[in-house]
Amino acid sequence: MAFALRDAGCEVIYLGLQSTPAQIMAVATDEDADVIGASILSGAHLSIASDLIAERSRSGLEHVPVVVGGIVPPRDVERLLEIGVDDVFPAGTAIADVVRRVTALADGRQAQR
């Protein structure tokens, strides 16, 4: 995914695995990120997404969209959007589709500046 976004002209800062919401928001602040993306495969996406959104508010980054991808059953897509995630990419979402939707969010964020 990082390669695909890079090839679409994005600057990608990949944090690797085992990152906490606080670490992610700290990097997003330092790097002035346009979009924050998290890949979650463990099934803990609802709880982690809530933590991400809360941590985003604590960091004053409400204006930065958060997207989630990974092993997300269909029933949880709506729940993630309700939690405040801006877009969800369950397993099997076409790469081009993810790139289009993430870059649209990034463009929207750029336009606000």
Pairing of strands 36-40, 66-70: parallel
Dist CA 46 CA 38 (whole Å): 12
β-pairing, 87-90 vs 66-70, is parallel
CA–CA separation, 71 vs 74, rounded Å?
10
Question: Is 72 an interacting residue with respect to other proteins (CB under 8 A)?
Answer: yes
| Stretch of 46-54, 58-66, 81-89, 100-108 lying at the interface with other proteins (CB under 8 A) | 46-54
- Residue 88 interacts with other proteins (CB under 8 A)? no
The one segment of 3-11, 61-69, 77-85, 104-112 that binds other proteins by CB under 8 A: 3-11
Name the site residues for other proteins (rule: CB under 8 A): 2-4, 6, 12, 14, 16-18, 20, 42-44, 47-48, 51, 71-75, 90-92, 94-96
